[in-house]
């Protein structure tokens, strides 16, 4: 197989409609990939990895995954991930997390696997919260995969409100051990990925109790299964929680403890500790134990942006080969991509994918700075990054869900088939609205920060506002949108500021009228979450503009400017009512935004296929290659969807026999009976 990524390069046998699209592009997709992934080297490495993977047959799916049972899915994902691990040292730089993520998502896809959480949720908290001694003890073993782990925090009864987790870790002075216990059914750990059947270790989050005092949630390293037999250890009840909307190649699980003892040294104690005599040593920040969650949230914008980009690659390519209906020329049906409604469905989502990826790389860097600062004892950046990532995680997951669903609908009936792969992407991505902090809960976390910031501004202390919220104290000066992106930012700042102030004032008025603080907060919660969304969308816009400003290559800058303008107009139109309400935006400006939006769609049209080609997802990653094996087929780079859809249907297990037992056992007798 030849892997070809240059948009202008034409491959024999590709669907001519797609070839035509690639010819009209005004830029080089390899150059765009450098911008998306950060550098020539990073983009090239991704291509090299995809190329290498494509040459190893055992890394491909052996069957179309939707036709497999749950057990078969887990077996298949485990087969692939263990085969992959054998090849990894040769294929990637083992210290590079992005390369690891890329190769896993290529080989495993969205079905998950029993090691996915080992790398993303078990090792990181051990690194962040474990002492050097603890790293010595477990980290090497974990990295070598001598042990398999997961992150067990959520319980049957509590996920969002961590302070109320019921699993206890009681310090025993006499034996210098912690006794882990699950006092009620509600306290069973519930959801942790890879816990059910695969892990033999877990980082367990439990309430630390010393001399009957509760010190809140802390992290403990716990062995849950025997390393030889893989049987649960005495005092442990563990199992799978059953099938989910997606991610069924992974075994999310439950876990209960019956007075299960672990040594004192198993409390992850880089930042806090329990001394032999039971003295508690506080961490430098109250929420230090939550740092791992900030880390994961900081990675979600780029991750979700990539998920949406995959669905869009499938939908845009398909829309360029799907012909249905007529425009002016009645002798040939048009590509559905030529319909304005189709463009409006897909192009703003392409812009959001780019925006999320750009924003995501910034937040990952911010987290790395935080991590370095924390290691040297400075925790002052935690509050800001917690607020920022809480908002970003919520907005990107929701909008990614919207974008993927639009991609599905854009593929008509074939989008609803699992052959499109879009439902699997959707099922996995939409989980992001819930995992790593339910979206409303996280928006309300950001709202706390915004309310405090507005209060500072109201108290005449704008100098105390961080750069992220400085605009809350800016004066209102009308803007002329014709002048370009800065004016859009100012308009958005006004909208966001006004909503934050309105929500804060409402909250204050409620309290002044005698309503308790918590009740007043709840009565303003919808307005508060609106403020958080606006603030976050403003932040994403600003990162997009910053990124485009930094680009030197003219052809790339031009097409990304078109995409950015589309984003600016789409986003502003979506929230225009906030600015129309107080007259900050005129109806003439509203008309201008709409016209700009429609003209952006036209400008993007010739580059649409190349904009998605630039993500450089392989056919394997999109589950769209149908070489020796049968996979999902809609997003194929070569555009040959129809014959492959037919092959896919033929491979359905239902078609392996002409007459099914459902017919012989039930339908046939029913019809016979009806004849009597």
Ligand X SMILES: Cc1cc2nc3c(=O)[nH]c(=O)nc-3n(C[C@H](O)[C@H](O)[C@H](O)COP(=O)(O)OP(=O)(O)OC[C@H]3O[C@@H](n4cnc5c(N)ncnc54)[C@H](O)[C@@H]3O)c2cc1C
Which is closer to ligand X, CB of 267 or CB of 612?
267
What are the CA-CA distances from residue 417 to residues 358, 411, 429 (Å)? 31, 10, 18
Q: Residue 152 binds which one of ligand LHBTZVTM, ligand X, none, with CB within 5 to 8 A depending on kind?
A: ligand X
Rounded distance, CA 231 to CA 227, Å? 8
Decide if residue 340 touches ligand X (CB under 6 A). no
CA angle 322–325–326, rounded 5-degree value:
120
- 635 annotated ligand-binding residue: no
Which residues have a Cβ under 8 Å from the Cβ of 162 and sit 6 or more positions away? 153, 205, 217, 290
Which is closer to ligand LHBTZVTM, CB of 108 or CB of 411?
108
Rounded distance, CA 563 to CA 457, Å? 34
User: Least separation, in Å, of the C-beta of 120 and ligand LHBTZVTM?
Assistant: 6
Size of the site for ligand X (CB under 6 A): 22
Which pair of tokens denotes residue 625? 């290659």
Q: Using CB atoms within 10 Å of the CB of residue 394, give its burial: 0 to 12 exposed, 13 to 18 middle, 19+ buried.
A: buried
Summarize as ranges the residues that interact with ligand LHBTZVTM (CB under 6 A).
100-101, 104-105, 108, 110, 116, 119-121, 151, 153-154, 159-163, 193, 247, 287, 290, 293-294, 382-383, 386, 428, 431, 435-437, 441, 445, 448
Q: Residue 162 binds which one of ligand X, ligand LHBTZVTM, none, with CB within 5 to 8 A depending on kind?
A: ligand LHBTZVTM
Which single residue is written with the structure tokens 């550098």?
39
Q: Which stretch binds ligand X (CB under 6 A): 35-43, 150-158, 533-541, 661-669?
A: 150-158
Binding flags for ligand X, 233-252, as an x/- string (CB under 6 A): --------------x----x
Which residues have a Cβ under 8 Å from the Cβ of 250 and sit 6 or more positions away? 74, 77, 111, 112, 113, 114, 116, 117, 193, 194
User: Least separation, in Å, of the C-beta of 288 and ligand LHBTZVTM?
Assistant: 8
Which pair of tokens denotes residue 657? 């026999």
- In 3D space, the residue among 124, 114, 108 whose CA is nearest the CA of residue 61 turns out to be 108
Confirm if 444 and 518 have CB atoms less than 8 A apart. no
Is 9 catalytic? The answer is: no
Q: Is 480 helix (H, G, I), strand (E, B) or coil?
A: coil
Rounded distance, CA 277 to CA 335, Å? 74
Q: Residue 67 binds which one of ligand X, ligand LHBTZVTM, none, with CB within 5 to 8 A depending on kind?
A: none
Which is closer to ligand LHBTZVTM, CB of 254 or CB of 544?
254
Binding flags for ligand X, 413-432, as an x/- string (CB under 6 A): ------------------x-
Which residues have a Cβ under 8 Å from the Cβ of 358 and sit 6 or more positions away? 543, 544, 546, 547
Which is closer to ligand X, CB of 151 or CB of 631?
151
Rounded distance, CA 564 to CA 360, Å? 16
- 184 annotated ligand-binding residue: no
Per CB under 6 A, which of residues 437..456 are in contact with ligand X? Answer: 437-438, 440-441, 444
Confirm if 421 and 635 have CB atoms less than 8 A apart. yes
Which is closer to ligand LHBTZVTM, CB of 291 or CB of 538?
291
Q: Is 77 helix (H, G, I), strand (E, B) or coil?
A: helix
The residue annotated as part of the active site, out of 99, 106, 155, 436, is: 436
What are the CA-CA distances from residue 490 to residues 223, 474, 550, 592 (Å)? 54, 10, 20, 16
Q: Which stretch binds ligand X (CB under 6 A): 70-78, 191-199, 502-510, 617-625?
A: 191-199
Which residues have a Cβ under 8 Å from the Cβ of 492 and sit 6 or more positions away? 534, 537, 538, 541, 571, 572, 575
Which is closer to ligand X, CB of 247 or CB of 648?
247
Of the candidate residues 159, 235, 278, 466, the single one contacting ligand X (CB under 6 A): 159
Which is closer to ligand X, CB of 152 or CB of 472?
152
- In 3D space, the residue among 429, 422, 436, 421 whose CA is nearest the CA of residue 400 turns out to be 429
Binding flags for ligand X, 372-411, as an x/- string (CB under 6 A): ----------------------------------------
Q: Residue 293 binds which one of ligand LHBTZVTM, ligand X, none, with CB within 5 to 8 A depending on kind?
A: ligand LHBTZVTM
User: Least separation, in Å, of the C-beta of 630 and ligand LHBTZVTM?
Assistant: 21
Where do contacts with ligand X occur on this chain (CB under 6 A)? 117, 121, 151-154, 158-160, 191-193, 247, 252, 431, 434-435, 437-438, 440-441, 444
What positions carry a catalytic annotation?
436
Binding-site positions read 154, 193
Binding-site positions for FAD read 154, 193
């Amino acid at each position: 197989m030849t892997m070809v990524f240059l948009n202008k390069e034409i491959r024999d046998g590709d669907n001519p409609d797609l070839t035509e699209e690639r010819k009209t592009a005004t830029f080089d997709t390899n150059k765009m990939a450098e911008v998306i992934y950060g550098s020539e080297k990073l983009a090239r490495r991704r291509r090299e990895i995809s190329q290498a993977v494509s040459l190893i047959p055992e890394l491909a799916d052996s069957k179309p995954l939707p036709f497999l049972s749950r057990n078969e899915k887990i077996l298949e994902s485990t087969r692939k991930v263990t085969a992959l691990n054998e090849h990894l040292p040769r294929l990637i730089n083992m210290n590079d997390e992005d390369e690891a993520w890329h190769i896993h998502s290529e080989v495993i896809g969205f079905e998950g696997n029993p090691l996915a959480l080992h790398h993303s949720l078990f090792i990181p908290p051990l690194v962040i919260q474990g002492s050097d001694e603890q790293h010595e003890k477990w980290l090497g073993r974990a990295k070598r995969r001598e042990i398999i782990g997961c992150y067990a925090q959520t319980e049957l009864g509590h996920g969002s409100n961590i302070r109320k987790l019921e699993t206890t870790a009681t310090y025993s002075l006499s034996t210098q051990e912690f006794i882990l216990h699950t006092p009620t059914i509600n306290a069973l750990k519930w959801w942790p990925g890879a816990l059910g059947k695969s892990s033999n270790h877990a980082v367990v989050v439990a309430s630390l109790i010393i001399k009957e005092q509760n010190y809140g949630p802390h992290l403990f390293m716990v062995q849950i299964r025997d390393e030889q037999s893989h049987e649960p250890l005495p005092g442990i009840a563990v199992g799978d929680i059953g099938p989910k909307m997606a991610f069924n190649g992974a075994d999310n699980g439950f876990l209960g403890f019956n007075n299960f003892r672990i040594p004192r040294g198993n409390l992850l104690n880089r930042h806090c500790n329990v001394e032999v005599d039971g003295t508690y040593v506080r961490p430098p920040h109250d929420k230090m134990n939550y740092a791992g969650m900030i880390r994961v949230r900081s990675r979600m914008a780029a991750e979700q942006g990539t998920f949406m980009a995959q669905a869009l690659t499938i939908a845009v390519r398909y829309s360029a080969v799907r012909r249905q209906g007529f425009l002016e020329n009645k002798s040939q049906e048009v590509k559905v991509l030529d319909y304005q409604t189709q463009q409006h469905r897909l192009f703003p989502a392409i812009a959001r994918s780019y925006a999320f990826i750009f924003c995501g790389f910034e937040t990952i860097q911010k987290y790395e700075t935080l991590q370095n600062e924390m290691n040297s004892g400075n925790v002052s950046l935690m509050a800001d990054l917690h607020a920022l990532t809480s908002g970003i995680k919520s907005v990107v997951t929701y909008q990614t869900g919207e974008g993927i669903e639009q991609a599905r609908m854009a593929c008509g009936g074939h989008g609803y088939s699992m052959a499109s792969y879009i439902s699997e992407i959707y099922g996995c991505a939409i989980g992001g609205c819930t995992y790593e902090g339910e979206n409303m809960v996280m928006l309300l976390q950001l709202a706390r920060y915004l309310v405090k910031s507005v209060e500072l501004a109201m108290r005449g202390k704008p100098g105390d506002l961080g750069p992220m919220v400085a605009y809350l104290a800016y004066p209102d000066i009308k803007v002329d949108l014709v002048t370009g992106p800065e004016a859009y930012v100012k308009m958005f700042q006004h909208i966001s500021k006004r909503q934050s102030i309105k929500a804060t004032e409402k909250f204050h008025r409620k309290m002044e009228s005698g309503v308790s603080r918590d009740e007043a907060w709840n009565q303003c919660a919808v307005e508060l979450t609106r403020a958080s969304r606006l603030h976050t969308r403003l932040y994403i816009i600003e990162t997009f503009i910053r990124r485009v400003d930094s680009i030197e290559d003219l052809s790339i800058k031009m097409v990304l400017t078109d995409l950015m303008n589309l984003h600016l107009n789409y986003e502003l139109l979506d929230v225009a009512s906030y600015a129309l309400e107080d007259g900050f935006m005129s109806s003439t400006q509203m008309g201008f935004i709409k016209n700009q939006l429609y003209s952006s769609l036209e400008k993007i049209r010739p580059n649409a296929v190349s904009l998605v080609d630039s993500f450089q997802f392989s056919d394997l990653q999109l589950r769209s290659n149908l070489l020796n094996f049968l996979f999902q087929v809609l997003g194929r780079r070569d555009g040959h969807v129809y014959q492959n859809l037919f092959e896919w249907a033929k491979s359905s297990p239902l078609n392996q026999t002409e007459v099914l037992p459902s017919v012989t056992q039930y339908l046939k007798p029913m019809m016979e009976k009806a004849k009597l």
